[in-house]
Structure 1
Amino acid sequence: MEIIQPSTILRNYNKVIDEVQDGEPVVLTKNGVGKVVMVNIEEWQRKEAEIWLLTELNHAEQEFGEGEDIDEFAKKYQLGVFSD
């Protein structure tokens, strides 16, 4: 992960964008302290999907632990495998 100052982006915009697109995150600093991370759009979307999936799994585990009926669970998550 490369750490750069915002002024560097202004001077080397295309190079920085190429690095980000190649999968290398770039940390932008303000007064020498990291403030923002740039990642390519595919990585961002993958992380967002991963967070969503983990959140849904966590909710499902909590509901299962609370004793939700399996048929209610299947209906809620549109799973037809438990229906007669």
Structure 2
Amino acid sequence: MQRVHAPGQHVPCNLASLNLMKFLKDDSKGHQSFDADRFQKVVELVITAMDISICFADFPDPEGSARTRARSASSASATPTSAPC
């Protein structure tokens, strides 16, 4: 998947998804609640894995590769668990 960054420029769009239903937990009375602590840990793990995969990915366009890695590095500074390239 690619998105248009600017006219004539394409930047790969690296996506991940999580099934939110997997974070529902039942209590002893049959009620469900969302396990926010587990969700946070999984999100941090997925972000780290995505950052690592971006670092080692091959992109068909060298300029798009540089822009993608630069975006990944700038988001890593905002996310404590992210690993910059």
TM-score, scaled relative to structure 2: 0.32
TM-score, scaled relative to structure 1: 0.32
The structure whose RCO (Cα within 8 Å, separation 6+) is larger is 2
Structure 1 or 2, whichever has the larger Rg, is 1
Q: Which has the higher helix share?
A: 1
